[in-house]
């Protein structure tokens, strides 16, 4: 199967497809999407106007304030594990491409801060507790209601010394550390606060080791189980703290983990590839040979992705899309593409090349593959469909998203109740009444087909982590056109 996909892709991979994509417009929309996912009291400059205040009593069951943050996807739950990964990726892309974002830089910072303000509450609300989620996912998934109407229990979840969660704590530390770099020059007081909390949360992750999946049970699984374990989050968290502090003890810690995995994907669950690219920067750009092994791991990862590499382990659809897993495949596409553009950027700064066996890999090789993925998502695909809602004219209309699929409070002030939204709005072929601008859905199946059915959540549900990873590549290709 892999060889079939490879042959098909090679027939056009060597030709850069010329598209007329407006990357700047897509960048603006990709960041605007986060406003549609906001929980808490919305600000006066809220641009997605059909959303209203929600979750205003979050944390009250534990007598703490846990308002704010983001709903992860089409539901009304705040899962800190994917939310923190979202924040780390949004921060990383802002660090790398902020100067290329133009007016969107301010919006990117606002999107990051909406999450980090919430994480600061989670880290400081009670001693010896790190709050990691709000809302009972099992109860929530039985309802189809607007976030503004939530009647389900807003259960509060935390990890502690006796019920550890090194994975979720490690990712939250990564998010706080990465965000501290975003705000370092524009708000040094806030930046210092983020970094101090990153150090504290990471120490907790290291001192009390264990998986949050084991501690939280059905509140984490099967929704966001830490399938890869927690070592990759410790690795990733330490990599970000090293970037933010320049404290070499974090490198020494990474070296004690003995984690040399080189996976062929990157996601909210498995962080190794991202950590390798992040650390490789010190080797490629900084000429620091202490980081050469990370550069080698990063290039081994690229060799597993490139279609014409002898080491490839990546399938492609006939249309040229990276295809990893059936559910929410575009999350892997955007995350991998983000690593590709960032590593290409590092290579370009030093005119670096490397080999996958006998295949020479240049910055242009990687950039061409990344551009193919970006353009596929924006409409250069067999369906001629943009998988970003509100971008272009042909995009998903029946997105698996509660708020988008139900009439807004302005149009229907009365609550629908827990299951009142199913029959008239979930099980219907009608388009969603509210456009969730910028949302990137799960994407097409391996045959490049997208049914655009609300009930088909694995293909039609958007998620914050799909978008967060896409912001960087959009800024990268927008600036390269100027």
Cα–Cα distance for residue pair 466/471, rounded to 1 Å: 9
End-to-end CA distance of the chain: 39
Q: Comparing C-alpha atoms, which of 71, 100, 82 is closest to residue 480?
A: 100
Nearest alpha-carbon partner for 135 in 121, 150, 125, 149? 150
Edge to edge, the sheet with strand 156-159 lists 78-79, 130-134, 156-159
* Catalytic positions: 400, 452, 461
Task: Judge residue 126's burial from the number of C-beta atoms within 10 Å of its C-beta, 0-12 exposed, 13-18 middle, 19 or more buried.
Answer: middle
Which single residue is written with the structure tokens 């929309």? Answer: 29
Dihedral angle over CA of 405, 411, 413, 415, nearest 10: -20
The contacts of residue 305 (CB under 8 Å, 6+ apart) are: 264, 312, 314, 322, 336, 340, 369
Distance (Å, whole) CA 189 – CA 194: 9
Distance (Å) of CA 122 to CA 47, 63, 92, 271: 26, 12, 22, 22
Q: Are 264 and 313 a contacting pair, CB within 8 Å?
A: yes
Contacts of 175 (CB under 8 A, 6+ apart): 84, 85, 87, 88, 91, 115, 116, 119, 198
Give the DSSP H/E element, type plus range, for residue 323. Answer: strand 322-323
**Helix or strand holding residue 355 (H, E):** strand 354-356
Contact 398, 425 (CB under 8 A): no
Q: What is the rounded radius of gyration, in angstroms, for the C-alpha atoms of the chain?
A: 21
CA pair distance 419, 400, nearest whole angstrom? 15
SS3 at position 316: strand
């Amino acid at each position: 199967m892999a060889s079939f996909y490879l042959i098909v892709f090679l027939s056009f991979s060597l030709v850069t497809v010329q598209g007329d994509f407006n990357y700047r417009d897509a960048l603006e929309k990709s960041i605007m999407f986060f406003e549609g996912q906001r929980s808490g009291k919305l600000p006066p400059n809220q641009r997605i106007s059909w959303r209203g205040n929600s979750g205003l009593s979050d944390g009250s069951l534990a007598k703490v304030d846990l308002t704010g943050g983001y709903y992860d996807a089409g539901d009304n739950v705040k899962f800190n594990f994917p939310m923190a990964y979202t924040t780390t990726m949004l921060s990383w892309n802002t660090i790398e491409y902020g100067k290329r974002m133009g007016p969107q830089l301010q919006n990117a910072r606002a999107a990051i801060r909406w999450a980090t303000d919430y994480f600061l509450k989670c880290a400081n609300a009670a001693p010896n507790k790190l709050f990691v989620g709000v809302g009972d996912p099992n109860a929530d998934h039985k309802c189809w209601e607007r976030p503004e109407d939530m009647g389900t229990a807003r259960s509060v979840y935390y990890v502690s010394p006796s019920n550890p969660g090194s994975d979720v704590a490690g990712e939250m530390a990564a998010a706080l550390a990465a965000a501290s770099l975003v705000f370092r020059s524009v708000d040094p007081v806030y930046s210092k606060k983020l970094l101090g909390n990153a150090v504290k949360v990471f120490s907790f992750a290291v001192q009390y080791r264990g998986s949050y999946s084991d501690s939280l049970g059905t509140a984490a699984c099967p929704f966001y189980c830490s399938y890869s374990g927690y070592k990759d989050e410790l690795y990733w968290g330490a990599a970000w703290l090293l970037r933010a502090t320049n404290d070499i003890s974090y490198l020494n810690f990474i070296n004690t983990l003995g984690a040399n995995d080189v996976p062929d994907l990157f996601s909210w669950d498995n962080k190794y590839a991202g950590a390798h690219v992040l650390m490789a920067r010190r080797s490629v750009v900084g000429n620091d040979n202490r980081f050469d092994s990370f550069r080698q791991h990063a290039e081994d990862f690229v060799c597993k992705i490139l279609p014409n590499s002898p080491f490839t382990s990546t399938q492609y659809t006939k249309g040229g899309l990276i295809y990893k897993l059936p559910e929410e495949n575009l999350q892997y596409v955007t995350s991998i593409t983000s690593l590709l553009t960032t590593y290409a950027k590092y290579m370009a700064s030093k005119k670096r090349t490397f080999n996958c066996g006998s295949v020479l890999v240049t910055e242009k090789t990687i950039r061409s593959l990344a551009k193919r993925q970006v353009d596929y998502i924006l409409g250069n695909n067999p369906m001629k469909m943009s998988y970003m809602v509100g971008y272009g004219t042909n995009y998903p209309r029946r997105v698996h998203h509660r708020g988008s699929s139900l009439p807004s409070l302005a149009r229907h002030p009365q609550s629908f109740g827990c299951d009142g939204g199913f029959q008239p709005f979930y099980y219907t072929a009608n388009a969603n009444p509210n456009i969730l601008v910028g949302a990137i859905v799960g994407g097409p199946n391996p045959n490049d087909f997208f049914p655009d059915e609300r009930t088909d959540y694995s293909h039609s549900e958007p998620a914050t982590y799909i978008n967060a990873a896409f912001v960087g590549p959009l800024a990268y290709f927008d600036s390269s056109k100027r």
